Structure 1
Amino acid sequence: MSKIANGNWNETKWQPLRAGIERVVFAMEADTLCCTVGRVENGNEVKPHTHPNEQVALVLEGECDYYVDGVPYRLTPGSWVTVPPNVEHYIHVYDSTVPCLQMDIFTPDRPEYTESFTAFLAEKEGK
């Protein structure tokens, strides 16, 4: 059984990933899924990629084009798109009035995200 946990991503440090993109990994206690919130700036470096995880990408604030298998989906607050396993995808933010705040839910879990974020927090706390 998963450990019950709660928190607020606004009260933690954001991990820089690359130019224009930072994230928080949360609900790290879950057994079978991984959740992140990313803040993506206009003009972010696009990075097409694939992974074996199924993904739901949900925009909370701002706007973006989210490409899945070469097809752009215009996402605005409340919009979401699913990404099947091993399908190329990426986010492109280019005309949002605010940074695009985007939640990703992955299944199965992505332990590499938890490990990376845990190490980042420990470094920031000087442990």
Structure 2
Amino acid sequence: MTKKPAASADQRRSQLLRGVLDLCLLSLIAERPRYGFEFAQALADAGLDLVSDGSIYPLLARMERAGLISSYRAPSPSGGAPRKYYRPTDAGHAELAAGRADWQAFAAPVGRILGAGTPSTGEDTPCRTG
């Protein structure tokens, strides 16, 4: 049996994440306001290290245009340039709640299917017709 290359697994994880990255970002800022670098760090700490800043910032901008998040600038504790922090709006909180419900409704049956047991070879399963 040949093992799939790691790149294939990374591609699958990346595709799966694409569909829920906005919800992950909303969930992170629902905990507390965050600035850009903190998103990538928090995602990596949670095991989602495939996410780059290059995919986070455009998504934050789209979410802000859609009215799901707002931003403000605050001084950097290290004395550098002010940081742009993001926080959810009321619409963002509602979107997060709906997204969490959608995720649970999706993930539960997928988990049951994928965790159903060892894949069958089909050799000992009779073929039924009609």
Higher RCO by CA contacts (8 Å cutoff, separation 6 or greater): 1
- Give the number of the structure whose alpha-carbon radius of gyration is greater: 2
Fold shared by both chains (TM-score > 0.5)? no
TM-score (norm 1): 0.31
